[in-house]
Amino acid sequence: MVSRKITVTNEQGLHMRPASIFSRAMTSFSSEVNIFFHDKKYNAKSVMMLMSACIKRGAEIEIRCEGEDEEEAMNKAVSLIEGGLED
């Protein structure tokens, strides 16, 4: 398992469009990908779960990836968050 804390800098946080971009990217990995926010776990492959988290700009989240391609999944997740969630 790999884990990393990161701050969301995207203007919209992880709402409709950014959540969709993120979850779509994470579904391409076989690893489990979860976001921890306010002591709750959210499946990062589910756009509805991400939207229900109400993650806003400036929020610190923890991304955890576990599985055979966990490093690649983490790299992509961090890249998307740091890049403002652009495809």
Which residue of the set 15, 36, 46, 59 is catalytic? 15
38 tagged catalytic = no
Dihedrals φ, ψ of 45, to 5°? Answer: -90, 0
**Longest distance between any two alpha carbons in the chain, whole Å:** 32
Best CA proximity match to 62, nearest among 15, 1, 6: 6
Q: What is the DSSP letter of 59?
A: -
Catalytically active residues, by annotation:
15
